[in-house]
């Protein structure tokens, strides 16, 4: 697995800025996760996600999606196999550095909780305050992020005064305000109507267009299909994406052979609708270099894996 860690000495300085390093940003190498009760939630799972990719993690309830996310967030440890995130073997990250590591990953959950007694601005600012960012930087970035989420007019409102869709956008703003390298969205549209779901997916696409790698866990197959992005399909902890692709190819071949039997279905692709952005695109860089110094300290030389012979 040396290919995922070599060159990192020379890359350390640019690890968290937005320079392309042509390394996969997430690598699972033959990972297994067995819980104490004997349930194997993840089995022999190998995949990689390239920097800047938008990937759906799909599978029905119990397929292992949450476990996979917990493994990335270091909330669980694999029973065997290796996980690399941002060119680091995550098992080498020290306990004292876990919080910093987690801050390089924005997380957006279905059951997000906003702080009811804080305004929209304060809710988003809070995510930056805990990183020790300056007041000036917080004001600047929170305003830009709220603007991108179409929430400028709501910044002094309290969560109770917002619609479900608006609250979801505040949660999304909070997840990205620190300029994460990776955004993980777990069932991001679970509680939303189709219109708000399309809006959230559109915003995720926009965030991805700025360079953030996006991983969306969902059981909603239609949503993933409409977006046309790569899918990692889990079934009882196995990746069955390849089998699915082969199935689709076979089906497509069958359809081509029997063209007169096919029916054209116009699928409304609301995700292509433009999102109203109130600031110029060039005004924001989600992989903000101003937080790079802090993040660069996540893994020190002594902890990085030198595995050139692997």
Q: In terms of CB distance, is 59 or 179 closer to ligand ADP? A: 59
Distances (CA, A) of 185 to 136, 149, 259: 28, 16, 38
Structure tokens at 34: 């067995």
Site for ligand ADP in 233-292 (CB under 6 A): none
Taking the complex as a whole, how short is the minimal distance between the CB of residue 61 and ligand ADP, in angstroms? Answer: 4
HEC profile of 8-33: HHHHHHHCCCCCCCCCEEEEEEEEEE
Least separation in angstroms between CB 43 and ligand ADP: 10
CB of 247 to ligand ADP, least distance (A): 21
By CB neighbour count within 10 A (0-12 exposed, 13-18 middle, 19+ buried), where does 33 fall? buried
Nearer to ligand ADP, 75 or 246 (CB): 75
Looking only at residues 59 through 88 of this chain, which bind ligand ADP when binding is defined by CB under 6 A? 59, 61-67
Residue 240, token pair as written in the block: 């069955």
The stretch near ligand ADP (CB under 6 A) out of 33-41, 43-51, 95-103, 127-135 is 33-41
* Tokens standing for residue 35: 């819980």
Query: Between 39 and 310, whose beta carbon lies closer to ligand ADP?
Result: 39
Task: Output the furthest CA–CA distance in the chain (Å, rounded).
Answer: 65
- 39 sits near ligand ADP (criterion: CB under 6 A): yes
CB of 301 to ligand ADP, least distance (A): 34
Paired with 82 in beta bridges are 29
E strands in 149-256:
182-186, 213-218, 230-235, 238-239
Which residue, 66 or 123, has its beta carbon nearer to ligand ADP? Answer: 66
Q: What are phi and psi of 65, to 5 degrees?
A: -60, -50
Strands 54-58 and 213-218: parallel
Q: For residues 64 and 188, which CB has a smaller minimum distance to ligand ADP in the complex? A: 64
Work out how close the CB of 58 gets to ligand ADP at its nearest, in angstroms, rounded to a whole number: 9
What residues are paired with 108 via a beta bridge?
A: 185
| In the complex, least distance from residue 63 CB atom to ligand ADP, rounded to whole angstroms | 4
CA distance 183 to 214: 5
Of 10, 22, 37, 276, the one binding ligand ADP (CB under 6 A) is: 37
Q: Which of 9, 35, 163, 248 binds ligand ADP (CB under 6 A)?
A: 35
Asked if 154 is part of the footprint of ligand ADP (rule: CB under 6 A), the reply reads no
Site residues for ligand ADP per CB under 6 A: 35, 37, 39, 41, 59, 61-67
């Amino acid at each position: 697995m040396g290919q995922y860690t070599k060159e990192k000495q020379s890359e350390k300085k640019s690890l968290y800025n937005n320079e392309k390093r042509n390394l996969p940003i997430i690598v699972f190498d033959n990972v297994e996760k067995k819980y104490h009760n004997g349930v194997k939630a993840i089995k022999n799972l190998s995949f990689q996600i390239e920097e800047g990719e938008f990937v759906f993690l799909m599978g029905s309830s119990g397929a292992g999606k949450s476990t996979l996310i917990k493994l990335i967030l270091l909330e669980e440890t694999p029973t065997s196999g290796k996980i690399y995130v941002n060119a680091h073997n995550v098992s080498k990250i020290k306990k004292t550095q876990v919080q910093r590591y987690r801050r390089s990953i924005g997380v957006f959950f279905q059951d997000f909780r906003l702080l009811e007694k804080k305004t929209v601005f304060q809710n988003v600012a809070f995510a930056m305050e805990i990183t020790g960012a300056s007041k000036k930087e917080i004001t600047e970035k929170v305003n830009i992020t709220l603007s991108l989420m179409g929430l400028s007019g709501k910044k002094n409102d309290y969560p109770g005064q917002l619609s479900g869709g608006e609250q979801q956008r505040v949660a999304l703003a909070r997840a990205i305000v620190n300029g994460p390298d990776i955004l993980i969205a777990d069932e991001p549209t679970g509680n939303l109507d189709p219109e708000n779901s399309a809006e959230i997916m559109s915003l995720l696409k926009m965030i991805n267009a700025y360079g953030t790698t996006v991983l969306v866990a969902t059981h909603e197959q239609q949503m993933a299909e409409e977006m046309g992005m790569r899918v990692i399909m889990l079934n009882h902890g196995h990746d069955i994406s390849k089998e699915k692709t082969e199935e689709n190819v076979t089906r497509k071949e069958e359809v081509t052979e029997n063209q007169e039997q096919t029916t054209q279905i116009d699928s409304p692709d609301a995700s292509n609708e433009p999102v109203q952005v109130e600031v110029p695109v060039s005004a924001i860089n989600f992989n903000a270099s101003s937080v790079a110094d802090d993040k660069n300290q996540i893994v020190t030389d002594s902890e990085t894996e030198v595995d050139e012979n692997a």
